[in-house]
Structure 1
């Protein structure tokens, strides 16, 4: 019975954080508040529509806040909430894994283990 409960919790986390861009957006916002245009420039492969949808989903989940300033032109700023900042360790672990995996693939595509040996056979 407990496995079902923990499985549901993992499923919920993956539903929220999964997808191509949400964790990338959290990672970028770890450095501090950013405007929509700054985020768009930092993540150039994301469409404007997907960026809007993912930011909205993260806001609805309570991981970031969206502040609109009454300026001309309108300024919209996104910042992580305390709950969003609690994901720092997870984001840093994912970044470290990505760097390690990217650095361990040689030109032929073989995966090299941390000891530098090809263990793909």
Structure 2
């Protein structure tokens, strides 16, 4: 397993309000209001400890995006219980500089992904 300590990776740690179940702790990832010509958030991988929480976090972040932006920017979730084909598809789309997947919400299995520089 690769370390996440690589040249094109930045780590962010934020103080939590209440607990991880308070999804507003992640509001900094998608500013509201969000409208062009604001730049899209940078490619992001959000690590979550619990598999079932990955989908809830991705849904929450996608809901913060304006409808007009959702066709070019999307958070996707994945974890080890999902099919290899699905996970590879998400990673492949994430790796593309112009890919639809700009954010991944995942368990530690995503630490093997390489981020475009």
Smaller-chain TM-score range?
under 0.3
Greater percentage in helix: 1
Q: Which has the higher contact order (CA 8 A, sep 6+)?
A: 2
> Which of the pair has more CA radius of gyration?
1
